[in-house]
């Protein structure tokens, strides 16, 4: 039995029931449902979840506003969030990712996929718990190795020559396999203090990175209309 506590924020009873049913079936007995944004804000304090499924279209306070409040509060900012969204909410998805939500699943979703995303995210977050400075500086994903301190990178053991910006972008992506980053997030997270980087420049940079990755170019996946992510397939041994 898993000990993680899962909060489901969803006003549609049928969807909440479906998620609850599959959580039980897969051995996650600790879960609660909140049907409004107000209830969600309360439950995060009372229930202290390890992960949140967040519907964006809620009565009262919207899912995005709930997300914004959590991310602005240091006590709740690190709780991973998977947004549950409708197809028509693509622009909201981008806003949510930029606010700091970790992932999203579009309704109607397959419960198996939802649970797989949840497990991957829980794994990623527990792995991120306080590694030592040295461990934290070395990143190993699939054929790629990166040292954040020395700013060196290797592909299949061969040195990989990257510009300053390319290193930052690749490190950010590779450090979170499967997580989607919008172009704007990549611009904000990876630019230097005075770099006039635009969203278009990110596309150019990704092109250059893929060229340097050669036969591993598919490590960086395009998420249409949203941005980029590091392939989860390649990252898991
Ligand atoms: Ca809803």
DSSP 177-216: TT--EEHHHHHHHH--TT----HHHHHHHHHHHHHHHGGG
Which position has the higher pLDDT, 62 or 125? Answer: 62
64 CA to centre of ligand 1 in angstroms: 12
Indicate the DSSP class of residue 227.
E
84/71 Cα distance (integer angstroms): 17
pLDDT digits (tens, 9 = 90+) for 112-137: 999 999 998 888 777 555 455 556 67
Q: Residue 199 has what pLDDT? A: 82
113 CA to centre of ligand 1 in angstroms: 19
Residue 41 burial (CB count, 10 A): 18
Q: Residue 32 has what pLDDT? A: 97
Residue 220 burial (CB count, 10 A): 20
179 CA to centre of ligand 1 in angstroms: 23
Q: How far apart are the first and last CA of the chain?
A: 25
Residue 12 burial (CB count, 10 A): 14
11 CA to centre of ligand 1 in angstroms: 5
Q: Residue 130 has what pLDDT? A: 47
- Is residue 5 helix, strand or coil? coil
Identify residues whose C-beta is under 5 A from ligand 1, the ion.
11, 55, 57
User: Under the phi-then-psi rule, with left for phi > 0, alpha for psi from -120 to 50, and beta for the rest, what region is 209?
Assistant: alpha
- Is residue 125 helix, strand or coil? helix
40/70 Cα distance (integer angstroms): 10
Tokens of 204: 């150019």
pLDDT digits (tens, 9 = 90+) for 153-169: 999 989 999 988 899 89
Mean pLDDT along residues 38-67: 94
Paired with 9 in beta bridges are 34, 54
Which position has the higher pLDDT, 22 or 200? Answer: 22
Residue 168 burial (CB count, 10 A): 20
Mean pLDDT along residues 61-70: 95
Which position has the higher pLDDT, 136 or 14? Answer: 14
Q: How many residues does the chain have?
A: 237
Q: Tell me the whole-structure pTM to 2 decimals.
A: 0.64
Largest CA distance in the chain: 54
> Percent of the chain, pLDDT > 70?
91
95 CA to centre of ligand 1 in angstroms: 17
Confidence of residue 150 (pLDDT cuts 50, 70, 90): confident
220 CA to centre of ligand 1 in angstroms: 32
Query: Which of 154, 146, 228, 220 has its CA nearest to residue 187?
Result: 228
The strands making up 181-182's β-sheet, listed across from edge to edge, are: 181-182, 227-230, 220-223
């Amino acid at each position: 039995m898993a000990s993680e506590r899962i909060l489901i924020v969803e006003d549609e009873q049928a969807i909440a029931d479906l998620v609850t049913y599959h959580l039980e079936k897969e051995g996650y007995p600790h879960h609660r449902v909140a049907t409004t944004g107000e209830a969600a804000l309360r439950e995060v304090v009372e229930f202290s979840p390890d992960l949140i499924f967040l519907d964006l279209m809620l009565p009262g306070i919207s899912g995005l506003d709930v997300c914004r409040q959590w991310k602005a509060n240091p006590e709740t900012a690190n709780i991973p969030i998977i947004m549950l969204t409708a197809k028509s909410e693509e622009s909201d998805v981008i806003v949510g990712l930029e606010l700091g939500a970790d992932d999203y699943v579009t309704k109607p979703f397959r419960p198996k996929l939802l649970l797989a995303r949840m497990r991957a995210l829980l794994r990623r977050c527990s792995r991120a718990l306080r590694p030592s400075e040295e461990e934290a500086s070395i990143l190993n994903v699939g054929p790629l190795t990166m040292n954040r301190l020395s700013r060196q990178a290797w592909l299949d053991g061969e040195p990989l020559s990257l510009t300053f910006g390319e290193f930052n972008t690749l490190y950010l992506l590779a450090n979170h396999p499967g997580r989607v980053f919008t172009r704007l997030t990549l611009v904000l997270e990876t630019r230097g203090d005075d770099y006039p980087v635009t969203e278009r420049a990110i596309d150019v940079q990704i092109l250059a990175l893929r060229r340097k990755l050669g036969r591993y170019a598919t490590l960086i996946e395009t998420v249409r209309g949203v941005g980029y992510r590091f392939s989860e397939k390649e990252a898991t041994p």
